[in-house]
Amino acid sequence: MPRRNRPSKREVVPDPKFNNTHLTMFINRMMYGGKRSLSQSIMYGALDIVEERVKRNPVDVFEQALRNVTPAIEVKPMRVGGATYQVPVEVPHDRAISVAMRWLLESARNRGGRNMAEKLASELMDALNGQGSAVKKKDDTHRMAEANRAFAHFR
């Protein structure tokens, strides 16, 4: 990673079915070994299951679930005078979305179920309702930041 100038942000092409960039980013993160078509079929299958169960637009459900999992604040370790403190910092929007997607995928993969589409659909619906392990991870992160609020002046 270069120290002087930041690399430019890449343009994300919206997905072909729903024309949504967050869906494309999620599909890219889900992908193993460059198997994009498999990843797309899993995601679209999960969205079909969500639409069937919730009777709402599946992209709106996905976006709301993503918003419910997105962290606003996190802790970063900072060295001050030989001691390392967990300092709470605000999360930049791009990183927050990225972390939320990672948490959703991780919790869906660790979930019990028949196939990945069902596991992902269940995790999305849990996140929509404010429960599930991805939302718990966000709450734990916020709780940790709140507990270390005394070190915020090291920011």
Give me the tens of pLDDT residue by residue for the chain, a chain 155 residues long. Answer: 778 898 888 899 999 999 999 999 999 999 999 999 999 999 999 999 999 999 999 999 999 999 999 999 999 998 888 899 899 999 999 999 999 999 999 999 998 878 999 999 999 999 999 999 999 999 999 999 999 988 888 87
Reading the block at residue 126, the tokens are 């849990």
Phi, psi (degrees; rounded to nearest 5) at 138: -60, -45
Residue 4: enclosing H or E segment and its boundaries? none
Residue whose token pair is 């999620």: 26
Q: What is the rounded CA–CA span in Å between residue 64 and residue 20?
A: 14
Measured at the CA of 106, the angle between CA 100 and CA 12, to 5 degrees, comes to: 50
Measured at the CA of 89, the angle between CA 87 and CA 93, to 5 degrees, comes to: 155
pLDDT at 68: 95
pLDDT at 115: 93
pLDDT at 9: 87
Reading the block at residue 87, the tokens are 């300092």
Q: Is the dihedral of CA 153, 142, 9, 1 positive or negative?
A: positive
pLDDT at 136: 95
